[in-house]
Structure 1
C-alpha cells in the first residue's frame, strides 16, 4: 500500500521499492486523479518498465450511512474510474466512514446496504469491484462498520458479486480478534487481505498476530486474491517488505 512507504516518493520510486522487494502490484489512494499529463506519461512508462500492477485504489471517503452523501459517492466513483482503468486497476476500497448523528443501528445498516447496492450498479458497466473495509474504533471513533463480522453480513444482504469485504487483520485484531474463525466462515466474500501487526502497524512478527497461521489458513481455504502489506516500516522499506513477502510465501507453501 503506497501510503505506508517513506514520505514524498514519486510514483516511479514507489514502484521501484515494490519491484526491488519482489512484489507484483501496488495499491494507491486517489492521487492519480491529480497527476499532470507529463506525470501520467512518466508514471505509466515506469509501471510498464517495472511490471508492477495497480490492484486497488481508494476513490474517496463518504459516509455510506448518509443518503445525503449519495451524490458525492456517485461523483467519487465516476471520477476515479478513468484513471484507474489507465493504470489497469479494477477494484476500489471503501469504508463505512462516519455515523449520522441520531441514526440508530437498523436504519444505519439499511442505508449502508442501499449505498453499496447503488455503488455496485454504478460499477457494473465499467467491470469494477468494490471492497468494504471495516475500520476499528481505536482508529476512527465515528466508524459505522467496525468488524468483518458485520461487514460480511452487510455484503450478503447487498447480494452483488461486485461488492466484497477487505479483511484487514490489523483492524480486526484491534476491534474483535477471532481472526481465523471469521475467515473460515466467510472466505467466499473476501475480496482483498491487508497485513500489519498489532500494536504499532509494523511488519508481521513484531506484535501479537500469528501471521504464519493466517497465511496457512488462507492457503487451506484456497484464497487466490491479493495479500497486501499495509505496515509502516521502521527500517529500510525494501528490506522489510522483502522479508515480509518471503515469510508469507514460506507459510503459504508449507500449507
Structure 2
C-alpha cells in the first residue's frame, strides 16, 4: 500500500510520526519522498542489505535504496571492485542524488602490529594504500575513508606505539589534505576484535588532536562503543569536534535499531539536535531474513526517527 493511499484511507489513525512500531512494521515499504522526509538524518545502507528486493547487481541495489528514500551509501569493499563497477556505481549515485560514504582504505592487520610498531616498511605500505585510495575516492566521489591502525605491539609501551601511529597519520594527512579527503579512525571493541591498538573514543580523540589535520577525524561506531565504553551521548559530546562520521548497529547482535539495548531514537535525536549533516552508515546485519527482514530494517529506521 502506498503511503498517500494509506493516509487517505486511514483518517482516523495517527500520522506516520505518531504511529506505534507495530503499525509501521505491518506496512509495505513506503514511497521515497515520505521516507526521506521521515528519516531526518543521512542513513547509508550497504551492498547486500536489500538483495532480496533488488537482486545481486550493485547498480540495482543502489537504485532500490534511492527508491526507498535513502540519500547516502557506504561500501567497505569499494576499493576491491573493478574500475568499471566503481564508475558505474558513482554515476548511479550522482544520478540518484546519493552521497558516497566510507570505504576501507588499506590492509588491516588484525593479528600483528603495523602502525603501532613504528616499522618503516609497514608505514610505507600503509601510505601507499592511502595513495591508491585517493584515486578510488576521486573515482566514486568519496570524501571519507576508513582507517584501522591495526594490532597492538606488545613489545612496546603504549606511549611509544601512540607516537608511531600519530607520525604515520600525519604523513597520511599530508597525502589526503590536497584532495579534501578525510580518513576516519575507527575504534573497535575488545570482544569482536581483541588486541587492537585503537579501542575507545577518548583515545581516538587524543590522536586526532595530536595529528591536527582536517584529514584525520573519528569514525564513531555506536555499536563498538556501546560494548567498549558505553556512556554514548556524553562521549559523543566530548569528541564532537573530531567526529566526522557515524556507524550504526544495535547490541547485542549487531542488527538494525530496535533489536537490542541501545536507545537509538534518543541518540539520533541528540545527533540531529547538534546540527549533524554527515552520514550515518548502517553497518549491521538484518535481524530477519528475506524481504520481510529488509522491510523491517526500513521500518526500524522510521521508528527510530520519530523524534
TM-score for the superposition, normalised by structure 1: 0.88
Q: Distance in 2 between matches of 1:32 and 1:19?
A: 22
User: Any idea what the Cα deviations from partners look like across 1:8-63, whole Å, max 9, x if unmatched?
Assistant: 933213313422332111111243444053x3554344334433331221111253
Q: Distance in 2 between matches of 1:248 and 1:225?
A: 17
Is the alpha carbon distance of 1:224 and 1:50 closer, same or farther for their aligned partners in structure 2, counting shifts above 3 Å? Answer: closer
Please point out which of 301, 304, 307 is paired with 1:245.
301
Unaligned runs of 5+ in 2: 1-44
Equivalent residue, structure 2, for 1:153 = 206
Equivalent residue, structure 1, for 2:23 = none
Q: Is the Cα–Cα contact under 8 Å of residues 4 and 230 in structure 1 kept in the other structure?
A: no
Equivalent residue, structure 2, for 1:233 = 286
Matched, 1:19 2:72: no
Is the alpha carbon distance of 1:141 and 1:35 closer, same or farther for their aligned partners in structure 2, counting shifts above 3 Å? Answer: same
Please point out which of 177, 181, 195 is paired with 1:142.
195
Runs of 4+ off more than 6 Å: none
Q: Is the Cα–Cα contact under 8 Å of residues 3 and 29 in structure 1 kept in the other structure?
A: no
Q: Is the Cα–Cα contact under 8 Å of residues 18 and 238 in structure 1 kept in the other structure?
A: no
Equivalent residue, structure 1, for 2:182 = 129
Q: Distance in 1 between matches of 2:199 and 2:282?
A: 20
Is the alpha carbon distance of 1:4 and 1:156 closer, same or farther for their aligned partners in structure 2, counting shifts above 3 Å? Answer: farther
User: Any idea what the Cα deviations from partners look like across 1:137-188, whole Å, max 9, x if unmatched?
Assistant: 1111121011112111111121112111111110001111111111112211
Cα deviation for residue 247 of structure 1 reads 3.0
Equivalent residue, structure 2, for 1:200 = 253
Bigger drift between 66-75 and 159-168 goes to 66-75
Equivalent residue, structure 1, for 2:76 = 29
Q: Is the Cα–Cα contact under 8 Å of residues 189 and 224 in structure 2 kept in the other structure?
A: yes
Is the alpha carbon distance of 1:137 and 1:81 closer, same or farther for their aligned partners in structure 2, counting shifts above 3 Å? Answer: same
Q: Distance in 1 between matches of 2:272 and 2:97?
A: 25
Unaligned runs of 5+ in 1: none
Equivalent residue, structure 2, for 1:54 = 100
Equivalent residue, structure 1, for 2:276 = 223
RMSD between aligned residues: 2.2
Please point out which of 109, 115, 118 is paired with 1:64.
115
Please point out which of 67, 70, 89 is paired with 1:43.
89
TM-score for the superposition, normalised by structure 2: 0.74
Q: Distance in 1 between matches of 2:71 and 2:183?
A: 21
Q: Distance in 2 between matches of 1:212 and 1:197?
A: 12
User: Any idea what the Cα deviations from partners look like across 1:58-92, whole Å, max 9, x if unmatched?
Assistant: 11125321332111111111112112212111211
Cα deviation for residue 4 of structure 1 reads 6.0
Q: Is the Cα–Cα contact under 8 Å of residues 198 and 204 in structure 2 kept in the other structure?
A: yes
Bigger drift between 17-26 and 68-77 goes to 17-26
Q: Distance in 1 between matches of 2:50 and 2:299?
A: 17
